[in-house]
Amino acid sequence: MQIFTTEKDLKLFLDSLRNNNIALVPTMGGLHEGHLSLVDKAKSLAQIVVVSIFVNPTQFARGEDFDDYPNTFDSDKLLLESKKVDALFLPSKDEIYPHGTESDYKVGDIGQILCGAFRPTHFNGVAQVVRRFFEIVNPNYAVFGEKDFQQLLIIKSLVKNLNFKIKIESIPTQREEDGLAMSTRNQYLSDLDREKAPHFYSVLSDTRDALLDGKSIYDAREDALNTLSKSFEVEYLEVLDANNLTQIETKTTEIIIISAIRFGGTRLIDNLVFRRKNV
């Protein structure tokens, strides 16, 4: 695996390989099995796989965990080598933002709901850095996790709006044995909170089962909010159309239960997508 820290060197390397398909997996490090599944997907799509590790300051607001974000570089590198990744891109902030961090791309309304209502600048920062990676790497494919479902839709619309010729691929949320969605931020949980955390996913699963059994969306959402708030501080829980995160209509068949909670100082997100029968 070759390591690049500059746009120039990475481009030079990739330009000699453009007769192959190239897949990009952007990350912020703190790699776990979920990231490795993204790499596996990338390898199934393309001959050349590039992984980036960059903790992007513009997607963190003041008071969030930018300074504390887990840095596990030595183990990240070993994991990526074991997966035979071709190139690891490790840029500095100046390399990504040589002209400062102003951005002219705004993600629009979809960036203001759900997580965006609690982190108003977050998705503009994500779009800004992903756009930059797309310009530098110019991959045929880019692979993202479905745990960050809202992010995934925002990146798909970025590709469309800016006419990138990049196929966005995703993989389902990878879970621990007890159901907790894999996340770098799970490291922040105390042992006791880690024991309680899988309850988040079990409430989402119970809500899906209740909806499939015919409970109304209103009642299912109310019950889920009541149950979740007994154990966690709930930021939001919504039941929406999974295609565009809008309200469910009679014609909607793909449904998402999507939620963010806080507990013990840690913010966790999760979602569950399913198809509605009998429509």
DSSP alpha helices (H): ranges in 162-216? 191-196, 198-212
Collect all residues with Cβ–Cβ distance below 8 Å to 90 and sequence separation of at least 6.
3, 4, 5, 52, 53, 54
Q: Which residue has the tokens 């988040």?
A: 200
Binding test (CB under 6 A) with ligand PAF, winner from 10, 14, 24, 28:
28
The nearest distance, CB 147 to ligand PAF, in angstroms, is: 9
The answer to whether 96 contacts ligand PAF (rule: CB under 6 A) is: no
- Answer whether 155's CB lies under 8 Å from 132's CB: no
The answer to whether 27 contacts ligand PAF (rule: CB under 6 A) is: yes
Structure tokens at 275: 């198809």
Say whether 122 is catalytic.
no
Give me the sign of the Cα torsion angle 88, 80, 144, 228: negative
Give the dihedral of Cα atoms 93, 95, 96, 98; nearest 10 deg.
Answer: 100
- Nearer CB in complex with ligand PAF: 27/207: 27
The answer to whether 26 contacts ligand PAF (rule: CB under 6 A) is: yes
- Nearer CB in complex with ligand PAF: 184/207: 184
The nearest distance, CB 210 to ligand PAF, in angstroms, is: 30
- DSSP class of residue 175? B
The nearest distance, CB 145 to ligand PAF, in angstroms, is: 7
- Nearer CB in complex with ligand PAF: 148/270: 148
Q: Which residues would be at the binding site for ligand PAF (CB under 6 A)? A: 26-28, 56, 59, 126, 129-130, 148, 151
